[in-house]
Amino acid sequence: MLLYVFSDFQGEKTIPDGNPDLVILLGDICYRDAVEIDKKYNCPKIGVYGNHDTIIEWKETDIQLIHETTFEFKGVTFGGFGGCPRYNRKPNQYNEEQCLNFVQYLDYVDVFIAHSNPAYDSSLADWDAHRGFKSFNHYISEKKPKYFLHGHLHKPFIKQEQETTICSVYPFLKLML
């Protein structure tokens, strides 16, 4: 299954040609760009909002939001959690307890999609928007999804954490499952 994964169109934007089986948006993609993605690809599209998205950012598109829920496609289960750790009073920000309330009851998913990252750096301050969620680390350790896809950091990389491949997406990743 061919996935096209997009995140954080702030400064960089990539919308390639092609015929993916599924399109995934990891947030911080404005309405105009979401509409362009929606029209360009004739396949299912799922996503989660980022911390810079409004709560109606992708309204009137066929992009299905899967924040705090799951989605199944061609035998692959996806789970989603949008936003980032709270650092001010704007929408799409959550405290660690809110994230944990979702992931502790989430069964195994093949692919976890999130805007924010797991907590990579414990030295970051509690108010740092990029500190990540410790709950994601716990989910990866306990449930071992095949993939954990996130944006937010504006640094693309792929790393292995036990059985889980973690992909930091910016601004685009082509992934074959």
Output the pLDDT for position 29.
Answer: 96
Instruction: Count Cα neighbours of 22 within 13 Å in the Cβ-side half-sphere.
Output: 20
For residue 122, pLDDT over 90 is answered with no
* Exposed/middle/buried for residue 37 (C-beta within 10 Å: 0-12, 13-18, 19+): buried
pLDDT band, very low/low/confident/very high, at 77 (cuts 50, 70, 90): very high
Mean per-residue pLDDT, 52-63: 91
Q: What is the number of structural domains in the chain?
A: 1
For residue 137, pLDDT over 90 is answered with yes
Mean per-residue pLDDT, 103-114: 97
Mean per-residue pLDDT, 77-95: 95
CATH assignment of the domain containing 144:
3.60.21.10
The per-residue pLDDT for range 150-160, each reduced to its tens digit, is 999 999 999 99
Mean per-residue pLDDT, 59-74: 96
And the tokens for 166? 């973690």
Output the pLDDT for position 123.
Answer: 79
Mean per-residue pLDDT, 45-50: 98
115 Cβ contact list (under 8 Å, min separation 6)? 7, 26, 27, 28, 48, 49, 50, 51, 81, 82, 83, 84, 92, 150, 151, 152
Residue with tokens 């309405």: 31
**How does 96-129 read in b/e, with b if 16+ C-beta sit within 10 Å?**
eebbbebbeebeebebbbbbbbbbeeeeeeeeee
The per-residue pLDDT for range 26-37, each reduced to its tens digit, is 999 999 999 999
Q: Residue 115 belongs to what domain range?
A: 2-176
Output the pLDDT for position 25.
Answer: 98
The per-residue pLDDT for range 94-107, each reduced to its tens digit, is 999 999 999 999 99
For residue 125, pLDDT over 90 is answered with no
The answer to whether the pTM exceeds 0.85 is: yes
For residue 72, pLDDT over 90 is answered with yes
pLDDT band, very low/low/confident/very high, at 11 (cuts 50, 70, 90): confident
CA distance 35 to 56: 13
